[in-house]
Amino acid sequence: MKIFHPKSALCAITWTVLSVVACLAAPAKLEVDLSHLGPLIPASFYGLMTEEINYSYDGGLFAELIRNRTFQDPAAGQYGRIAKPPIGAVPPHWSVIGAALAETNKIDPVNPALPLNLRLTLSGGAGGVANNGYWGIPVRPGARYTASFYARGVGGFAGPVTAALVTDDGDRSVAKAETAPLSGVWKKYILTFTTPSDVLPTAAARFVLSANGTGSIDFSLVSLFPPTYKDVPNGLRPDIMKLLADMHPAFIRLPGGNYVEGIRFADRFSWKKMIGPADQRPGHQGCWSYRSSDGFGLPEYLLWCKQLGAEPVLALFAGYTLNGDYAAAGSPELDLYTKEALEEIEYVTGPANSEWGRRRAADGFPEPFRLKYVEIGNEDFFDRSGSYEGRFANMAKAIRKKYPQLKIIATTPVTVAKPDLIDDHIYATAGTMIREGTRYDPGSGHPEGRKTNGIKVFMGEWATQGGSPTPNLMSALGDAVFVMGLERNADDVVMQCYAPLFANVNAEDQAKGHPRGWQWNTNLIGYDSLHVFGSPSYHVLAVFGQNKGDVVVPVRLDAPHLPAIGDPDPHGRVGVGSYGTQVEYSDFVVTNPDGRKLSTDNLTKDAGQWQFCQGGWSLGGGILRPLGDGSQTWALTGDLGWTNYTITLRARKLAGDEGFILLWHAVDGDNYRWWNLGGWGNTVSRCEVSENGGREPYGEGAPFSVETGRWYDLKLEVNGHAARGYVDGKLVMAENDEPRQPTATAFASASYVNASGELIVKFVNTAATPLETEIHLRGASEIGAGKAIVITGPPSAINSISQPENVAPKEEPFTNAAAVFDRTFAPYSVTLLRFPAKK
């Protein structure tokens, strides 16, 4: 046994259910006290948060393979108000095959929900239309596909239509089927075909509808499904569902997130347009830059819950949209949304003979769903009008009257009515998330109001930011520490879910009209059309979900301190950036505090001085500008050793959503500070810090909008942690990025499984060195051998399509459990020990 170093008197801490920081060198000491149990951990604790973001359903969980199946998608890059489908043209993601023409029309459509037809006009030979899917149509060996579409012959066409899977490589048809001859009236055709068992898996393939002869064919609602999870028609992707089932989620928070709100009222989650057969769903413009087919609508959310054995946590549209519009309390509009919310609850929970329960039964779910929680709105702290108080009160009153058994979640504290829970959100860097592990510990300074008056917490969105499109190992450590902190306070934090859940990780493919697959940087699970992988954070949450205890066991951990997270002596390069905005920068000069130039006269005259991150830039005529629409890209220059300096430059916005970005203390493209001038949709001036690719704001921020077309004189003074920003000579920003408070290198928590009589100990070592730890089990008897699960790797390690298991849990027997035992925890690791122990 190693020698135990007693804790220094200065760091004296009381015996508590908390994971505690102390200040000793290794070895560490962990005490686990089975004689005094902490709070119960509710069955509802581990859940999923979901919305249509990053192609979560279309191009993700929803197994539909045809992109733009009703031809209503706008042309690439069109968004918001200007998003209109092209009429009289080939729609996005479709192309023409052979000697034929194709264009959309509005002539006598199948029904008003499907307003556009795609007309294929043949010229005497073979011709067709092809769909390139969500970054390609996946072809797998021995797989049965089901295609369906409406079709009618026009101008005398009365032949059959062939549906085929065709690979890009060699233009090879690998599976196909043919309809009966068409007539001149709309008819729905359903065809099935199976790929040969020796075909190589590929996503470089298209779905082709073709015919031979003269005349035209109108198509509507073209659909193609591969095998789905549990073979349910119109169902979900089996590979993604397998990962989700392995998380053992108790609930799914749906449908958002921003997605429930929409940018405008017309774009809200209007659930009545997302039920019934596919041909009754018009689709709508989502808030994450692309149109949603709504093939994945309310019944599909319920199917998802049912297949995972999870309960819905139903987020209700509450009369506020992302553009700031709202329906005030007492207005006819809010009354309508309240009525829709009550009807939505009836759709989910009502008996099959109620009005909306009948509609659910018709959609395939005769049994009502269990529903305990509803959430009124999403992130209404963004509603600066203050209308949430009234909107919440109105809706909560109506819901309580009709459904008194439901628990109601508010999205921000309210005073005029009392919610049962408040939904708390946090996205931050690993350093911050580790510190936030104490967010709900008694005495941590968190608003007590949430813990008193019986108001519980729903941690409805949280995630360590770092790693894109999926988190790296360091983020997974942050996530582990954070969720252990929530679990230890499970009497207050009764449910939690990481966000966002999914990301389609395909890169932009301009030639084929595919944008980048993800809009949010750090997401739990990644996939393309053929593969799926769990990130390191996914593995942490899956291991924790599979090993949920029933009750918290108090621990005390004495572990070494980190000197500080954050740099005591910040330094680095400088630069400019663009965030979805076309900007120009010129006359970029860096000087010493004494006025001497650190850089050459004008860095924007010398292309050789710049390094570009995440995208291309052009430099000519003294102007530096991002290429394309300037999605999210930055340009760095200068010296890594620079600490105190002043940058002056000129800047002009040409087009786009935001404004200017100035970087300093940039070590590389993932670690920097920046001044975001016109961030958050060109509304705010604010500083942000990025650590390992995870970015979070700091300081207060102030309202600021950049005018398009006007040149601005900008100045940034940097002095160690302090930064001051000037616009046209006027001070606009003055912030200090102080070194963060010291924190421990290691964190622990424990819980007990009543049914099996097992103790679960979770341990996170965030240091670069192994940590020898002496573990004492108090009040435990009959201690036996169990298992250890370890997740570890370099802090920047990620999983990806090509390396899906680069970071993965390793399970091993754990045989030396005893009243006192030693264990060395690997550098950068999460370890879970599970073994029998009688309390």
Angle subtended at Cα 346 by Cα 345 and Cα 348, rounded to the nearest 5 degrees: 65
- Whether 605 and 543 have beta carbons less than 8 Å apart is answered as no
Structure tokens belonging to residue 795: 């802090």
Residues 18-57, one symbol each (x = binds ligand AHR by CB under 6 A, - = not), give: ---------------------------------x-x----
Query: Which residues inside 675-734 make contact with ligand AHR, applying CB under 6 A?
Result: none
Angstrom distance (rounded) from CA 434 to CA 452: 25
When binding is defined by CB under 6 A, the residue of 379, 389, 420, 487 that contacts ligand AHR is: 379
Angstrom distance (rounded) from CA 343 to CA 335: 12
- Of the two residues 53 and 314, which places its CB atom closer to ligand AHR in the complex? 53
Distance of closest approach, residue 656 Cβ to ligand AHR, in angstroms = 20
Distance of closest approach, residue 256 Cβ to ligand AHR, in angstroms = 5
Q: Considering only 152-160, 201-209, 252-260, 630-638, which stretch makes contact with ligand AHR by CB under 6 A?
A: 252-260
Distance of closest approach, residue 379 Cβ to ligand AHR, in angstroms = 5
Quickly count: other Cβ atoms within 10 Å of residue 57's Cβ: 28
Distance of closest approach, residue 414 Cβ to ligand AHR, in angstroms = 18
Distance of closest approach, residue 501 Cβ to ligand AHR, in angstroms = 9
Is residue 520 near ligand AHR by the rule CB under 6 A?
yes
Distance of closest approach, residue 352 Cβ to ligand AHR, in angstroms = 33
Q: Considering only 68-76, 143-151, 253-261, 472-480, which stretch makes contact with ligand AHR by CB under 6 A?
A: 253-261
- Of the two residues 253 and 673, which places its CB atom closer to ligand AHR in the complex? 253
- Of the two residues 580 and 622, which places its CB atom closer to ligand AHR in the complex? 580
- Of the two residues 379 and 389, which places its CB atom closer to ligand AHR in the complex? 379
Angstrom distance (rounded) from CA 215 to CA 682: 52
When binding is defined by CB under 6 A, the residue of 283, 286, 390, 500 that contacts ligand AHR is: 500
- Whether 810 and 783 have beta carbons less than 8 Å apart is answered as no
Is residue 128 near ligand AHR by the rule CB under 6 A?
no
What contacts 455, CB < 8 A, 6 or more positions away? 418, 419, 420, 421, 422, 449
Distance of closest approach, residue 519 Cβ to ligand AHR, in angstroms = 9
Q: Tell me the pairing of strands 373-376 and 407-410.
A: parallel
Q: How far is CA 705 from CA 384, 633, 677, 689, in A?
A: 17, 20, 7, 21
Is residue 257 near ligand AHR by the rule CB under 6 A?
yes
Distance of closest approach, residue 461 Cβ to ligand AHR, in angstroms = 5
Q: How far is CA 284 from CA 70, 91, 184, 344, 506, in A?
A: 11, 16, 30, 18, 23
Helix, strand, or coil here: 577?
strand
Distance of closest approach, residue 386 Cβ to ligand AHR, in angstroms = 19
Distance of closest approach, residue 56 Cβ to ligand AHR, in angstroms = 10
- Of the two residues 262 and 572, which places its CB atom closer to ligand AHR in the complex? 262
CA atoms within 13 A on the CB side of 180: 6
- Of the two residues 357 and 701, which places its CB atom closer to ligand AHR in the complex? 701
Q: Please, what's the b/e burial string for 362-372 (b: 16 or more CB within 10 A of its CB; e: otherwise)?
A: ebebeebbebb
Q: How far is CA 224 from CA 69, 134, 220, 227, in A?
A: 9, 12, 13, 10
Both ends of the chain: CA-CA distance in Å?
A: 24
Angstrom distance (rounded) from CA 687 to CA 738: 13
Distance of closest approach, residue 767 Cβ to ligand AHR, in angstroms = 30
Angstrom distance (rounded) from CA 436 to CA 433: 5
- Whether 44 and 495 have beta carbons less than 8 Å apart is answered as yes
- Of the two residues 525 and 590, which places its CB atom closer to ligand AHR in the complex? 525
Distance of closest approach, residue 52 Cβ to ligand AHR, in angstroms = 10
CA atoms within 13 A on the CB side of 70: 22
* Edge-first strand listing for the sheet containing 28-33: 555-558, 28-33, 771-778, 820-825
Structure tokens belonging to residue 178: 């043919």
Q: Considering only 54-62, 250-258, 466-474, 709-717, which stretch makes contact with ligand AHR by CB under 6 A?
A: 250-258
Dihedral (CA of 758, 764, 768, 774) sign: negative
Beta bridge partners of 105: 117
Angstrom distance (rounded) from CA 734 to CA 699: 9
Residues 206-245, one symbol each (x = binds ligand AHR by CB under 6 A, - = not), give: ----------------------------------------
Is residue 559 near ligand AHR by the rule CB under 6 A?
no
Distance of closest approach, residue 566 Cβ to ligand AHR, in angstroms = 25
Distance of closest approach, residue 618 Cβ to ligand AHR, in angstroms = 32
Q: Tell me the pairing of strands 251-254 and 311-316.
A: parallel
* Edge-first strand listing for the sheet containing 532-534: 502-504, 525-527, 532-534
Q: Considering only 217-225, 247-255, 256-264, 354-362, which stretch makes contact with ligand AHR by CB under 6 A?
A: 256-264
- Of the two residues 177 and 260, which places its CB atom closer to ligand AHR in the complex? 260
Total residues contacting ligand AHR (rule CB under 6 A)?
11
DSSP symbols for 606-659: -GGG-EEESS-EEEETTEEEESTT--EEEEEES-TT--EEEEEEEEEEEEES--
Distance of closest approach, residue 378 Cβ to ligand AHR, in angstroms = 5
DSSP state of 201: P
Distance of closest approach, residue 500 Cβ to ligand AHR, in angstroms = 4
Q: How many residues does the chain have?
A: 839
Is residue 499 near ligand AHR by the rule CB under 6 A?
yes
DSSP symbols for 271-295: GGGGSSSGGG---EE-SSSSEE--S
When binding is defined by CB under 6 A, the residue of 50, 68, 167, 258 that contacts ligand AHR is: 258
Distance of closest approach, residue 684 Cβ to ligand AHR, in angstroms = 15
Q: Considering only 218-226, 251-259, 384-392, 771-779, which stretch makes contact with ligand AHR by CB under 6 A?
A: 251-259
Query: Residues interacting with ligand AHR, by CB under 6 A?
Result: 51, 53, 256-258, 378-379, 461, 499-500, 520
